[in-house]
A and B are shown apart, each in its own frame.
Chain A
Amino acid sequence: MRPICRWLTTNGCVLLPLLWLSIPCSSLAQERLEILPLRPFNVDIALRQAFSPNDREIALQAGLTALSYGNFEIGTTYQYFGLASSTVKADVHSIYANPRWNNFLDILDFPAGKPINRLLRHVLFGPLEDRAVPFVGVIGGAVVAGPGTHIPAYLYGADVGVRFPVGHSIALEFTLGYFVYGLNFEGQGSNERQLLFTTGFFF
């Protein structure tokens, strides 16, 4: 578990003070702490079936919001990958927490004349600059892969993305996540790494 501890310590040192600084003192007492608000939640399914024997991939991901406090949000996600090919055959079950800092760009609300956050929002999101919720987060959890060993290993990573609230409790979200698994997908040692881009609706 040493790598994850080191990684979380390094990132925590940067992310948490920034998050703390981004919350004005006057608003600290006024933010509402919501435990298990559930929303937004998501269910994503991906299926790839090749027209050759034993070559398919199934991905299933389901998540919900466990805690929210102002621009701070903790999501929990269950992720499943079923890989089957002539070289790899694995079932990977992961469960992880995903603390997020929403609207992190707003910490750059200076200088007064032309705030950097407004400029970045305009450059990144164009006409939807006032309707986008950019976020950055860290990922930490456990993973079990099979066949083979069933001892849970660690999983860590980070993600960055944007949520566009569409209306009627539906939001469109784009996320780029970087995952490091404490095993490879065949259940043996060494770190499997994965870059995962997801896009979908949140309810």
Chain B
Amino acid sequence: MKTAPNRSRQRLGVVVVFLLAGCLAGCGLVIDAAELIAPIPAPSDSVDVVCRHRQLQVGISVEPYPPFVFPVVSTARGPSITGLDLELVQQLGAALSKYCGGIPIAVVPHVVHFRDLFRLLTDGHLDLFVSSVAYNVPHLKSAGLAYSSPYYPGTGLGVIARRPDVAQRVRAALMHPATDGGSLERRRAALDGLVVAVQEGRSAHFYAAAHLKGAQLLLCDSLAGAWQEHDTPVDIILGKQPVLDFLLKREERLTSWQPLLLEDGRPLLLNREFFTVVMSEKSFRLHWLVNDLLFELEESGRLETIQRRWFEKDYHYTERAVTEGLLAVVPASVDPSAPSRCHWAKP
């Protein structure tokens, strides 16, 4: 039999439960009330961390994207890395130095796998990532990250073919009258039945998996793996057009390859891509800083000068790695000199 004090305690418990439930439902108001007393300080931004540690931790893709990111070069000083993207982050380091009150900021490139990007940026191991990343790629791997303004003129995914007959076949398919799907559908259909090599985990892979259903897909660690000999010869490589274009001009092993062009001589593009600097979603101040710097570089013409320096000048990247490259942190699990591996995508 319940006694009176027990019953009153039970009622009190129920009241406490309802009060707590009410508090939880209105916890947003608790923040409002606290802000009336004193403003709640904003969480520490990654720019504060950069200034405090005098280091900008930059992620660079293991897989090279010449001339944006060249392969890691062993120098007397240690592993060195160079490229357009590295020059860009050096500019950013200088801008951050000014922002931090004149403290020199060292740019530390870390060679990482693209797949680990979200975790590394979100957990604060990296401040930003550059390696010709396009922001407009609808995929889980691209979600939850922040992207700067573009630092390279709008380009897209282009195609190079190994043999003239393949190029001829695609050109012939492109001559067919446009279907209801329009010119893009016609371009995709022109690649049906071909063996297409792409870099795994990057935009070309996601695009091919989503749109090139009629092609046989070979996934490679790097572009270098795509032009190696395989049991089933690769017909075409799908990749970032400026990278493919640069490689066709500079890579000796690609002399037999040719770009796929439209009738009017323009490159055959399958989408539009804008290369950006990637950051954590919460790095608002860093995001503003990067956007401001890119605007300044573009307005002053320096961005174009940097682009010309890497795309048009005659140079060898190993020499630039020695003279102006940044010393890179290469994790033990990453072997930049390892041969590229390829495997067939599951149908």
Contact = CB atoms under 8 A, between A and B. Distances in A.
Interface of A: 24-27, 30-32, 34, 37, 39, 45, 47, 49, 51, 53-54, 56, 68, 70, 102-103, 106, 109-110, 112-113, 115, 127, 130-133, 165-169
Given A39-B43, A47-B20, A26 B331 contact: yes
B29 interface: no
Contacts of B20: 45, 47
B119 A30 contact: no
B341 A113 contact: yes
Interface string B109-123: 010000110110011
B57 A30 contact: yes
Interface string B304-326: 00000000000000000000000
Contacts of B108: 30
11 contacts: A24-B332, A30-B55, A34-B49, A51-B10, A53-B6, A53-B9, A130-B115, A130-B119, A165-B119, A165-B144, A168-B282
A147 to B, nearest CB: 17
B40 interface: no
B110 A30 contact: yes
A24 B9 contact: no
B333 A109 contact: yes
Given A113-B341, A131-B118, A37 B282 contact: no
A26 to B, nearest CB: 5
A198 to B, nearest CB: 17
Contacts of A112: 335, 338
Interface size class of B (residues with CB under 8 A): 35 or more
Contacts of A113: 341
A32 B24 CA distance: 36
Interface string B2-20: 1000110110011011001
Which of B7, B115, B125, B338 is the most central at the interface, judged by chain A CB atoms within 10 Å of its CB? B125
Nearest to B127: A32
B333 A32 contact: no
Given A56-B13, A109-B333, A166-B144, 20 more contacts: A24-B331, A27-B329, A32-B53, A32-B55, A34-B49, A45-B24, A49-B17, A53-B2, A53-B9, A103-B119, A110-B333, A130-B119, A131-B119, A132-B119, A133-B119, A133-B123, A165-B144, A167-B122, A168-B281, A169-B282
B162 interface: no
A187 B10 CA distance: 25
Nearest to B50: A32
Contacts of A169: 43, 282
Interface string B176-189: 00000000000000
B37 interface: no
B9 A27 contact: no
B141 interface: yes
B281 A127 contact: no
B184 to A, nearest CB: 28
B330 interface: yes
Contacts of A168: 281-282
A67 B318 CA distance: 40
B44 interface: yes
Contacts of A132: 119
B116 A130 contact: yes
Given A53-B2, A113-B341, A133-B123, A165 B118 contact: yes
Contact of B118 (A68, A103, A127, A130): A130
Contact of B333 (A31, A49, A68, A106): A106
A33 to B, nearest CB: 9
A54 B331 contact: no
Contact of B13 (A37, A49, A102): A49
Given A26-B331, A133-B119, A32 B2 contact: no
B110 to A, nearest CB: 7
Contacts of A110: 333
A87 B207 CA distance: 64
Nearest to A171: B122
Contact of A47 (B17, B43, B122, B125): B17
A132 B119 CA distance: 7
B123 A102 contact: yes
A30 B329 contact: yes
Contacts of B10: 51, 53
B122 A130 contact: no
B6 A54 contact: yes
Nearest to A167: B144
B43 A165 contact: no
